[in-house]
Chains A and B, each alone.
Chain A
C-alpha cells in the first residue's frame, strides 16, 4: 500500500516546533546543581519524539542530529552525566540549530549545513570530549541504523545446498506463560507456513487432567518440520517476540553440501526498512544530500499555514450551543407554521431563548480565538537568558498568569512591543551586579512578566527591580531635544510619558540590545492600534512597572449606545465610569480651556458630541440639557455630552478604515438591529482631541 507521507509533514513540523519550545523552556528552567529529573525527562522526550518523527518521515539530517542530543540527554537523565552550564548552552544552541533546520526543510530550502556541522561538533565535543572526525563513525552509524522492524538480516551467503528436503527441524516448547503476552502459537505457525511447507507434530503429554487445567497456560509443545530455503535467521525472526517465552531449537533438516549460493530468502516477515541510510561519509556532506527525496514536500503540502490549536472542550461547547440553536429554530418554525395570535407568548419565549443561545454561541465562537498568553511569554525566558549573559548581568524572569487567555490577534501583535519593553528593562532597567550590591539590592535582578484580566481588559505588566527612571534626567533630556518647553510645568506622570515621544531615548549610549530612539513611540502606537494603552510607574532606585491594557478581543465589544440628534454612537462600555444628567450649575466655562464640569471635587473637560461630529439633525438640545457620559481614556477622565442614553449591547466591530477611511475619534463602526450604521467612539482618541 502506498501512503503519501507528506500529508503528515505539516503536523510533524508543528509538533517539532512545540517540542523545541518545550526543550528550550525546560533547559532554561534547569537549575544547575539541583536538577529536576522531571524537567530532564520532558526535554529528553521532546528530543526523542523529534528524532522518531524525523526518522519516520525521512528527514535524516534531523534524525541524525537529534540522536546525538538524545544520547547526551539520556546520560543526563540516567545521572551518568553532570548537567553543566556549558552543556545546557550547547543544548540551547542545538535547539536553535534544529529550529533552523526544520524551518529550512519546511520551506523546501537547503539546510545550512555549515551551521549544522558547527553545532554538531559542539555537541559531540560535549558528548565525547572530542568532535568526531572525518570518519564520523558514532553519529552516522547510530542514526543511520534505524533498525527496521524485525531486523531481517541479509541472508548470509551460507554456502549450502540441500539435496532433497532443505529446511529446518524446529523444537518449539512454549513456557506456560507464553499466552500471557497475547502471543499465540497458531499465528507463529501461520507465519512459518508462509516460508515453506510446514508439518507439525504436537506433544500433549504435559497437559494436565481436565480438572487441573488452566486454560491460560500453554501446556503443549511442538515438533515442527519446515521445508524451506529460508535461513535460520529468517526462521528465528518469527520467534523473536517469544524468544524468552519458549525453548526453541533449530536444526537443519538435511546435511548441507558445499554448493552454489542460495537463493535469496523468500519474503521474510518484514523487509528491511527503506530508510535512507547515510553513507559513512563525513556528516556535513552526507547530510546535505539528505534533504530527502521521499519527503519532497509534494506540491499540495501547505507551507506555514496559519492554524490554531483549540481545546476539544471548547469545540464540544460550541457543538452543544449549535445544537441548542437548532432546537430553538425548529421550535420557532413550528410556531410559525400555523400561527395564531394566541401563540404570541410562545413566540416571544422562543425568541428570547434564541437570543440567549445566539449570545452563548457567539461567546463560544469567540472563545476559540482565545489563546493563553503563554504563547507569547514562553519565548522570553530564552531572551532574558541570552541577553543577560551578553550583558554580564544576573537576571531572573518570573512569569505570572501565563494561562490568561487573549485573542489570537493580540497574541500575534503584542509580541514585538513586549520584546522591546523587556529588552529595555534588561538593558536600561536592571543594573550591573556590582552596582546592585552597592545599592543594597540583591545581586540577582528580577523582571516579572504578569498577565491578568481586569474588567473587560487584559493587563500585561512588566515589573523590574532595577534603577528606575530618573525624572530630572528625563526632563532635562526632553528640554535639550526641544521636545518640551523649559517653562512647562509637568506632573511626574507626564514626565515619565515623555519616553513615548518620537525621537526620545535616554540611553547614554545606544546598544544593540535596545532602542535607537525609535522605540517607545512605536511601542505605544502598536499598542494603541490594538485598542489598548500603556502606562508607566517608576521610582528612582526601586524599579519600573510598565502596564499594558488591552481589550480582550478585537472583534466584539460591549457597547453603550447613545443618541446624538438622529444619530446613534457606541461608547465602549469598558471606558465608561458613570453617566449623569447635567444641571446648569455643573457647567463652567474656563477661559482658554473650553468647557468643564464639576464632578464631585474634580473639574473635567466636556466634549460635546453634537459639535465634534457636526450633528445637525434632531431636536436641538439646549446647551444645558442632556447626559454626560464620564469616560476614562489615556488615564484621564472626560465627559461626553450626548442627548440620551440608549441600550447596552454587544456590537461586532467593523473596520471603518477598510470600508471608508480613517476618521479621528472613531475606532470603527457597527451595524445596528435596524440596519443602520453606528460609529464606535475611540475614547482615548477623543480625549486626546479634547486636550488639544
Chain B
C-alpha cells in the first residue's frame, strides 16, 4: 500500500489525518513540522506528502519547495492542507511545487477522496 507522510504541527489534526489514512490501509508516518518532515522524507521515499501550511520552524510551502529539490521527490504528489480558501496561498503553494490542496475543515471521507486523486 502507498506510503504517506502526514505533516501537521497540531497533534489532533495530525492524528486525525493519520488515523484516517491508516484505517484506509495506507502506510502512514507522521511529522510535526517542516524540519521533522524533511528529515523523515530523506530516510525513506514516500509515495505522497500531505502537509499543513502554517507550521513553526518550517512551513508547509517551504517544505514542498525543499522536497521538490530532491531528485526522489521530483514527481511525488504533495498536497497541502490550508484553511485559507483564497487563491493566494494556493498559488504560492503551486509555485513551490504543490500538486494540489485541501481546504480545512475537511472530514475523513473528503480526505480519502482527495488522496485517490493522486494515488493509485
Contact = CB atoms under 8 A, between A and B. Distances in A.
A3 B23 contact: yes
A183 interface: yes
24 contacts: A1-B23, A1-B109, A1-B112, A8-B19, A11-B11, A12-B12, A48-B83, A55-B105, A56-B104, A57-B12, A57-B16, A149-B103, A149-B106, A151-B103, A180-B74, A181-B97, A182-B75, A241-B94, A241-B101, A269-B114, A270-B113, A271-B109, A271-B110, A273-B106
Contact of B113 (A49, A187, A269): A269
A51 interface: yes
Nearest to A16: B12
A681 interface: no
B20 interface: yes
Q: Please give me the 4 A-B residue pairs with the lowest Cβ-Cβ distance, nearest first.
A: A55-B105, A147-B85, A12-B12, A241-B100
A241 B80 CA distance: 11
Contacts of A12: 12
B42 interface: no
Interface in A270-302: 270-271, 273-275
Interface of B: 9-13, 15-16, 19-20, 23-24, 54-56, 68, 74-78, 83, 85, 91, 94, 97-114, 117-118
B32 to A, nearest CB: 11
A535 interface: no
Contacts of A216: 74-75
Contacts of B11: 11, 14-15
A182 B77 contact: yes
A494 B105 CA distance: 63
Interface in A17-59: 42, 45, 48-49, 51-53, 55-57
A56 B13 contact: yes
Interface size class of A (residues with CB under 8 A): 35 or more
A150 interface: yes
B78 A182 contact: yes
A284 to B, nearest CB: 22
Contacts of B20: 1, 3
Report whether over half of chain A's contact residues are helix, strand or loop; otherwise say mixed: helix
Given A56-B13, A183-B99, A241-B99, A42 B104 contact: no
B18 to A, nearest CB: 10
Interface of A: 1-3, 5, 7-9, 11-12, 14-15, 42, 45, 48-49, 51-53, 55-57, 63, 145-151, 179-184, 187, 191, 216, 240-241, 244-245, 269-271, 273-275
Nearest to B91: A244
A458 B24 CA distance: 49
Contact of A52 (B75, B83, B101): B83
Contact of B83 (A51, A183, A244): A51
Contacts of B75: 179, 182, 184, 216
Given A49-B9, A53-B10, A244-B91, A270 B23 contact: no
Contacts of B12: 8-9, 11-12, 15, 53, 56-57
A50 B111 CA distance: 19
A149 B54 contact: no
A8 B15 contact: yes
B10 A148 contact: no
Contacts of A274: 107
A216 B68 CA distance: 13
A441 B85 CA distance: 54
Contact of A187 (B9, B24, B85, B118): B118
A189 to B, nearest CB: 12
B64 to A, nearest CB: 9
Contact of A148 (B24, B99, B106): B106
A183 B100 contact: yes
Given A15-B10, A52-B10, A149-B106, 16 more contacts: A3-B19, A5-B16, A8-B16, A45-B55, A49-B10, A52-B83, A57-B16, A146-B104, A151-B85, A180-B68, A182-B75, A184-B118, A241-B99, A241-B100, A244-B91, A271-B110
Given A3-B23, A45-B54, A49-B9, A273 B83 contact: no
Nearest to B83: A52
B94 A244 contact: yes
A1 B99 contact: no
A9 B23 CA distance: 18
Contact of B102 (A53, A149, A181, A182): A149
A234 to B, nearest CB: 14
Contacts of A3: 16, 19-20, 23, 108
A5 B94 CA distance: 30
Contact of A56 (B85, B98, B105, B118): B105
B37 to A, nearest CB: 16
Nearest to A41: B56
A56 B114 CA distance: 16
Contact of A180 (B24, B97, B111, B117): B97
Nearest to A238: B117
Contacts of A146: 103-105
Contact of B13 (A52, A63, A150): A52
B30 to A, nearest CB: 12
Contacts of A269: 113-114, 117
A631 to B, nearest CB: 47
Contacts of A179: 75
Contact of A182 (B10, B85, B97): B97
A182 B83 contact: no
A48 B54 CA distance: 8
Nearest to B109: A1
A147 B103 CA distance: 6
Given A1-B23, A8-B16, A52-B10, A182 B56 contact: no
B105 A273 contact: yes
B105 A52 contact: yes
B114 A149 contact: yes
Contacts of A48: 54, 83
A484 B51 CA distance: 69
A49 B99 contact: no
Given A15-B10, A45-B54, A147-B85, A52 B117 contact: no
A54 to B, nearest CB: 8
Contacts of B76: 182
A272 to B, nearest CB: 9
A278 to B, nearest CB: 13
A11 B113 CA distance: 25
A623 to B, nearest CB: 66
Contact of A273 (B16, B97, B110, B117): B110
Contacts of A63: 105
A9 B19 CA distance: 13
B7 to A, nearest CB: 14
A15 B13 CA distance: 10
A49 B111 CA distance: 18
A537 to B, nearest CB: 41
A1 B24 contact: yes
A157 to B, nearest CB: 24
A1 B108 contact: yes
Contacts of B112: 1
A240 B97 CA distance: 15
A273 B103 CA distance: 10
A56 B91 CA distance: 23
Contacts of B83: 48, 51-52, 55
